[in-house]
Amino acid sequence: MIIYRYLSRQLFWATLAVSFVLTFIIVSSRFLRYLSDAAAGRFDGTAVLLITGYRLPGFLEMVLPLGLFLGILLSYGRMYLENEMVVLQACGVSQNRLVALSMIPALCMSATIAYFAFYLAPWGAQQAYQVVLEQERRSGLEVLSPRRFHSSNEGRTVTYAEEIDTEKSEMKNLFIVNYDRAAKTGAYRKVVLIRAQKGEYYIDDAGNRFLVMKNGERFEVDPGNPDYTRFHYDEQTLKLKEKLITARALKHEDYKTADLLAEDSILAKVEMQWRISLALLVPIVVLMAVPLAKVNPRQGRYLKMLPAILLYLGYLSLLMAAKGAVEKGSIPVWPGIMWVHGVFLLVALGLNYWPHWQLRRAKRRMDLELQQAVAT
């Protein structure tokens, strides 16, 4: 029990450190992507934090197996390097017992990943979807700031408002500049300037967004041409570009497990296999990591790190490739992607028992040579 607590403590801190770094990298990249959407006017600041938080379980279900794999390589590699494993082996901790002790946290991690994959990650994805849908349906005033220029529509539209009342969905002293560019050359073909003393947003029952501008002027200018068009209006209504998300945009990766079981389609079945695979991945990679962590103190702790990472990436890449092939119909739904686990289970068993088999073979050869020497 003392040995198990010591190994678990070493493995826990190494896994926690690696998982934290990997999660920070992934969340930061996604957070920057969401910030760019917020800068473009699609989200506000609160929505960015909510979406990132709801998507976090989906990130963790991919990060935690890799964190445990690297944690075993780093922690056990250090123990081999500092001859702690030699002491443990002298105390009766064999390779098989080390694998058995490592399987206890592996099974706990596998249960956690299964909870994420089957329940928490789909729930978070749908909550994030609802936040995005709510952001798409808002009036649009939340992304505007008074006395600041706001660019949208890939820079073709610039909006400026001197005063904004979000409660009444009103703007005062509104300016809108729209640039019409050629698709090939990017040159300006027409510039439209709209000025209004008052502007109001409203959304109809179908979800269409409109901007009503009152008591203003409209200018149309052709670049390179001194002539321009100007006219005054009392009220003008503009239908804004539709950005609402439909229910069809929800992917099978974001479906609840009950919805996947109720749907009889290839995409639903392969997604169920993928969620099962995330849980099966953990004990198999742990079974591979234990023998790969064994290093010679003279060789350094990072000697097998690169081959081990390449082996893990090969495992994950083959799973993704098999999933894509099943979705395209190139591979039957059954066994689907499950055969990949069988292949790497054989690899893991080979890594564990190949040295023992070679040792027994060498021992038999020595015994045979000794018997021949005695006979002669």
Q: What is the pLDDT along the chain (376 residues), one digit of tens a residue?
A: 677 787 888 888 888 999 899 999 888 888 888 777 776 666 677 788 888 889 899 899 989 999 999 999 888 888 888 878 778 777 777 778 888 888 888 999 999 999 999 999 999 988 888 887 777 655 455 556 777 777 766 667 788 888 877 666 678 888 888 877 655 555 556 788 888 888 887 766 665 677 888 888 888 887 777 777 888 888 888 776 554 444 445 677 888 888 888 888 888 888 899 999 999 999 999 999 988 888 777 766 667 788 888 999 999 999 999 888 888 888 888 888 889 999 999 998 888 887 667 666 667 777 676 776 666 6
**Cα–Cα distance between 237 and 211 in angstroms, integer?**
6
242 phi and psi, to 5 degrees? -70, 130
Given this model, what pLDDT does residue 130 score? 82
Burial 264-280 (b: 16+ CB within 10 A, else e): eeeebbbbbbbbbbbbb
Given this model, what pLDDT does residue 280 score? 92
Given this model, what pLDDT does residue 245 score? 42
Given this model, what pLDDT does residue 355 score? 67
> Residue 279: what residue type?
A
**Cα–Cα distance between 109 and 71 in angstroms, integer?**
13
**Cα–Cα distance between 52 and 60 in angstroms, integer?**
12
Given this model, what pLDDT does residue 154 score? 65
Q: End-to-end alpha-carbon separation of the chain, Å?
A: 52
Per-residue tokens: 351? 């890594």
Phi/psi zone of residue 195: left (φ > 0), alpha (ψ -120 to 50 degrees), beta? Answer: beta
Which residue is listed with tokens 């003279």?
A: 298
Taking the CA atoms of residue 242, residue 245, residue 246 and residue 247 in that order, the dihedral angle to the nearest 10 degrees is -170
Of the candidates 26, 49, 25, the one whose C-alpha atom is nearest the C-alpha of residue 37 is 49
Per-residue tokens: 364? 């038999």
Task: Give the list of residues 6+ apart from residue 298 with CB closer than 8 angstroms, or none.
Answer: none
Per-residue tokens: 153? 């529509």
**Cα–Cα distance between 286 and 65 in angstroms, integer?**
9
Q: What is the three-state SS of the chain?
A: CHHHHHHHHHHHHHHHHHHHHHHHHHHHHHHHHHHHHHHCCCCCHHHHHHHHHHHHHHHHHHHHHHHHHHHHHHHHHHHHHCCHHHHHHHCCCCHHHHHHHHHHHHHHHHHHHHHHHHHHHHHHHHHHHHHHHHHHHCCCHHHCCCCCCEEECCCCEEEEEEEEECCCCEEEEEEEEEEEECCCCCCEEEEEEEEEEEEEEEECCCCCEEEEEEEEEEEEECCCCCCEEEEEEEEEEEECCCCCCCHHHCCHHHCCHHHHHHCCCHHHHHHHHHHHHHHHHHHHHHHHHHHHCCCCCCCCCCCCHHHHHHHHHHHHHHHHHHHHHHHHCCCCCCCCCHHHHHHHHHHHHHHHHHHHHHHHHHHHHHHHHHHHHHHC
